[in-house]
């Protein structure tokens, strides 16, 4: 029978990931990891998101006191990939505009890596997986890109866009997990938790 860990920690400052767990009525804590999201040029997308997700979870694991409770920490990282180019979060509006200009009218991939760390009785166990979704963006004029940026802040989003809210105006189609494009593939999280005998269904 599935249960749920005594402590469940989201190693992320993302309001979207927090919101998704809240909507599932999952008891959790938020700890923002103190890490830098460095991107190595030769690193493959799946390896990159796996590494960054694990680094986030590990950073939190090193700082907490479990107080004898079985604790699961989840780290997550999401990137946008166009061809062989990895698009992270833009540093300014100029870079954000350049990203959307590249993506408009084309199909790209969104990858998320998930890493879970279980701390139990002085032992540490790590499992991880990834999710990939194909996204096609509409053809957009300069005016439409500017309008989109007036609706959404592109600076805290990989690829300078989000699929929800204003994203409904610029996304033509997706093939795969919608929630992955939101930045948190919850079904993948559930499958990882199942490996330890846990389930989000048992969290209430």
Residue 77 annotated in active site: yes
CA-based R_g, the chain, Å: 18
User: What are the φ/ψ torsions at residue 23 (nearest 5 degrees)?
Assistant: -70, -25
Do residues 127 and 135 lie in contact, with contact meaning Cβ atoms separated by under 8 Å?
no
Catalytic residue among 67, 77, 165, 177: 77
Tell me how many degrees the CA angle 175-164-49 measures, rounded to the nearest 5. 60
CB 176 within 8 A of CB 132: yes
d(CA 20, CA 107): 26
In a 3-state reduction of DSSP, which class is residue 94?
helix
| Residues carrying an active site annotation | 77
């Amino acid at each position: 029978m599935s249960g749920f860990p005594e402590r469940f920690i989201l190693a992320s400052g993302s309001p979207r990931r927090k919101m998704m767990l809240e909507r599932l009525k999952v008891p959790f804590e938020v700890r923002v990891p103190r890490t830098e999201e460095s991107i190595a040029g030769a690193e493959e997308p799946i390896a990159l998101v796996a590494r960054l997700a694990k680094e986030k979870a590990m950073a939190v694991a090193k700082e907490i006191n479990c107080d004898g409770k079985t604790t699961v920490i989840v780290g997550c990282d999401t990137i946008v990939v166009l061809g062989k180019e990895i698009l992270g979060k833009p540093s300014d509006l100029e870079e954000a505009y350049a990203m959307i200009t590249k993506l408009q009218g084309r199909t790209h991939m969104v990858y998320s890596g998930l890493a879970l760390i279980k701390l139990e009785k002085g032992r540490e166990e790590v499992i991880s997986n990834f999710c990939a979704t194909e996204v096609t963006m509409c053809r957009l004029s300069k005016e439409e890109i500017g309008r989109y940026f007036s609706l959404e802040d592109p600076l805290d989003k990989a690829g300078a866009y989000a699929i929800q809210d204003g994203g409904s105006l610029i996304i033509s189609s997706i093939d795969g997990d919608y929630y992955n494009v939101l930045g948190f593939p919850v079904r993948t999280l559930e499958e990882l938790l199942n490996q330890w005998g846990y389930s989000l269904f048992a969290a209430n």
